[in-house]
């Protein structure tokens, strides 16, 4: 099946970061041609004057939690955690499935084609993700047995999930560590060793709050990133979320390990946990920076366009420097850097022949994107766009949304069911 997307402004995100006008030809799952072409196709998508760019990569999420949206707002951080843990412990398989479907709908509509998840019961989440057509990097949450509500040993549950889902299309299993506050040395070592042996992503929360850092240093004599490095957890397959309370020494250790971070500015700002990820230093020393929305309880939105702008403005404002976190860098964080963070930069993150067709089309007629010219297109996408501009989404050649019509899930039934699930979980 050959599909042609015709006459778009193409933000390639290739090594030269070319912006060109032309066509993209898709053969089944793959991009085969980028630019002006006379190739005919079985299916044509008219994108005249629209913007075609790589699908966004959201590198930190808890997709199943979307049915808890608005349940724990405007609370102190300890009260927030207490209520989330209480509600979360009572969740059913149906809640988890429905929450994931709702998140997938929101991500498709706002231009995300790949996301990283950190949760338990990822086998339930995987089914919903497959039905949606989006790509999920699903990291089963591992923590010390004394802190978990999972049945059985979390690391064994993780192994089972990864083994059973290793070869499923658009499902990428991974290993998740909740964080140093509930993961002792044995748990961290075992999870890291398993991820390395099986060439899996190792994803974890890191230095999200000042209290987390203080307590860990009091217990071990080291800050969290220093301690994780000392026990062999940091490495090129490691992706840490938040990473806001870091020293320059920790940044250097993370860079030396070749790891990535998922910065989640809206989540940190909403929970008022303080700290701003030292993104300029990360870039200086070579840490790969990507962006995550976090889940719907801490952000309330999975719109990566909004998150990209928030990160840029927060970095500029906190440093009193409007020249940092430039528009092109912000787009890199959401596309090619996100792909690198999950070990897929050779397959997604840019529009190049031979890569998967992970593409989104933005409405070039939208007033917030105009005037639209090659000279201002990158800035418009970084600072003026939002998820509502997305009209078509494609993941690995599959058409997930076309002209704003979802093609994969029963959108209306998912949204209607979400209210009943919210009442059951949150009105207690």
pLDDT digits (tens, 9 = 90+) for 110-124: 999 999 999 999 999
How many residues make up the chain in this entry? 428
- H/E stretch holding 135: strand 135-142
Give a yes or no: residue 411 inside a domain: no
Give a yes or no: residue 417 inside a domain: no
Strand pairing of 398-402 and 135-142?
unpaired
Nearest to 390 by CA among 55, 27, 121: 55
Asked if the model's pLDDT at residue 149 lies above 90, the reply is no
* Same domain as 323, residue 230: yes
- Give me the pLDDT at residue 321, please: 97
Asked if the model's pLDDT at residue 427 lies above 90, the reply is no
* Same domain as 249, residue 304: yes
d(CA 381, CA 377): 6
* Same domain as 259, residue 110: yes
For residue 319 the two structure tokens come to 């440093």
Asked if the model's pLDDT at residue 325 lies above 80, the reply is yes
* Same domain as 148, residue 36: no
Give a yes or no: residue 100 inside a domain: yes
User: CA 97: distance to chain centroid?
Assistant: 19
* Same domain as 32, residue 9: yes
pLDDT digits (tens, 9 = 90+) for 243-255: 999 999 999 999 9
User: CA 253: distance to chain centroid?
Assistant: 23
Cis peptide before 400, with omega less than 30 degrees from 0? no
Asked if the model's pLDDT at residue 5 lies above 80, the reply is yes
- Give me the pLDDT at residue 85, please: 83
- Which of 314, 341, 368 delimits the end of a domain? 341
* Same domain as 261, residue 121: yes
Asked if the model's pLDDT at residue 207 lies above 90, the reply is yes
Q: How many CA atoms lie within 13 A of 338 on its CB side?
A: 35
Give a yes or no: residue 34 inside a domain: yes
d(CA 225, CA 206): 7
Give a yes or no: residue 428 inside a domain: no
* Same domain as 234, residue 361: no
Helix (H, G, I), strand (E, B) or coil at 6: strand
Asked if the model's pLDDT at residue 395 lies above 80, the reply is yes
Helix (H, G, I), strand (E, B) or coil at 389: helix
- Give me the pLDDT at residue 45, please: 97
* Same domain as 307, residue 201: yes
* Same domain as 209, residue 101: yes
Give a yes or no: residue 414 inside a domain: no
For residue 51 the two structure tokens come to 């913007």
- Give me the pLDDT at residue 163, please: 97
pLDDT digits (tens, 9 = 90+) for 327-372: 999 999 999 999 999 999 999 999 999 999 999 999 999 999 999 9
- Which of 289, 319, 341 delimits the end of a domain? 341
Please tell me the total count of domains within the chain.
Answer: 2
- Give me the pLDDT at residue 76, please: 87
Rounded to an integer, the average pLDDT of 390-396 is 98
E-strand ranges in 315-362 read: 359-362
Nearest to 54 by CA among 117, 135, 137: 135
The CATH number of whichever domain residue 384 belongs to comes to: 2.30.40.10
Q: What is the mean pLDDT of the chain?
A: 96
pLDDT over 70 for what percent of the chain? 100
Q: Please, which residues have CB within 8 angstroms of residue 15's CB and are 6 or more apart in sequence? A: none
Would you say 72 and 84 are in contact if contact means Cβ atoms under 8 Å apart? yes
d(CA 395, CA 111): 10
* Same domain as 81, residue 30: no
* Same domain as 60, residue 50: no
Question: Angle at the Cα of 90 (from 84 to 91), degrees rounded to 5?
Answer: 90
* Same domain as 400, residue 270: no
Asked if the model's pLDDT at residue 37 lies above 90, the reply is no
Question: Angle at the Cα of 8 (from 325 to 388), degrees rounded to 5?
Answer: 60
Give a yes or no: residue 255 inside a domain: yes
Per the listing, tokens 């998740």 go with 176
Structural domain span for residue 96? 56-341
The CATH number of whichever domain residue 200 belongs to comes to: 3.20.20.140
Give a yes or no: residue 162 inside a domain: yes
């Amino acid at each position: 099946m050959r599909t042609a997307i015709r006459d778009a402004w193409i933000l390639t995100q290739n090594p030269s970061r070319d912006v060109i006008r032309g066509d993209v030809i898709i053969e089944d799952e793959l991009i085969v041609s980028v630019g002006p072409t006379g190739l005919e196709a079985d299916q044509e998508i008219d994108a005249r004057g629209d913007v075609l760019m790589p699908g966004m990569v959201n590198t930190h999420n808890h997709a199943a939690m979307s049915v808890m949206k608005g349940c724990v707002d405007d609370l102190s951080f300890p009260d927030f955690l207490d209520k989330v843990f209480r509600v979360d412990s009572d969740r059913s398989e149906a809640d988890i499935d429905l929450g994931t479907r709702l998140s997938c709908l929101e991500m498709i509509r706002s231009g995300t084609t790949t996301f990283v998840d950190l949760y338990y019961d990822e086998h339930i989440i995987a089914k919903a993700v497959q039905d949606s057509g989006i790509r999920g990097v699903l990291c089963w949450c591992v923590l010390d047995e004394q802190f978990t509500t999972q049945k059985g040993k979390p690391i064994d549950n993780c192994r089972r999930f990864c083994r059973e889902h290793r070869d499923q299309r658009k499902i990428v299993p991974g290993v998740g560590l909740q964080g140093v506050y509930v993961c002792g040395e044995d748990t961290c070592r075992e999870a890291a060793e398993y991820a390395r042996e099986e060439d899996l992503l190792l994803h974890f929360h890191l230095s999200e709050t000042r209290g987390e850092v203080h307590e860990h240093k009091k217990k071990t004599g080291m800050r969290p990133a220093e301690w994780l490095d000392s026990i062999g957890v940091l490495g090129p397959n490691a992706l840490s979320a938040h990473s806001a309370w870091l020293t320059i020494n920790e940044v250097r250790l993370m860079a030396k390990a070749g790891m990535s971070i998922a910065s989640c500015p809206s989540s940190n700002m909403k929970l008022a946990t303080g700290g701003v990820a030292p993104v300029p230093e990360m870039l200086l020393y070579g840490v790969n920076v990507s962006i995550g929305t976090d889940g719907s309880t801490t952000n309330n939105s999975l719109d990566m366009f909004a998150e990209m702008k928030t990160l840029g403005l927060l970095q500029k404002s906190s440093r009193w420097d409007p020249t940092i976190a430039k528009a092109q860098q912000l787009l890199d964080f959401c596309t090619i850097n996100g792909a690198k963070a999950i070990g897929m930069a050779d397959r997604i993150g840019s529009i190049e022949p031979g890569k998967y067709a992970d593409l989104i089309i933005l409405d070039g007629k939208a007033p917030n994107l105009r005037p639209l010219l090659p000279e201002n297109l990158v800035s418009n996408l970084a600072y003026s766009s939002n998820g509502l501009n997305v009209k078509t989404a494609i993941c690995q050649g599959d058409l997930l949304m076309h002209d704003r019509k979802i093609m994969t899930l029963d959108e209306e039934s998912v949204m209607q069911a979400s209210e009943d699930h919210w009442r059951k979980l949150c009105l207690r």
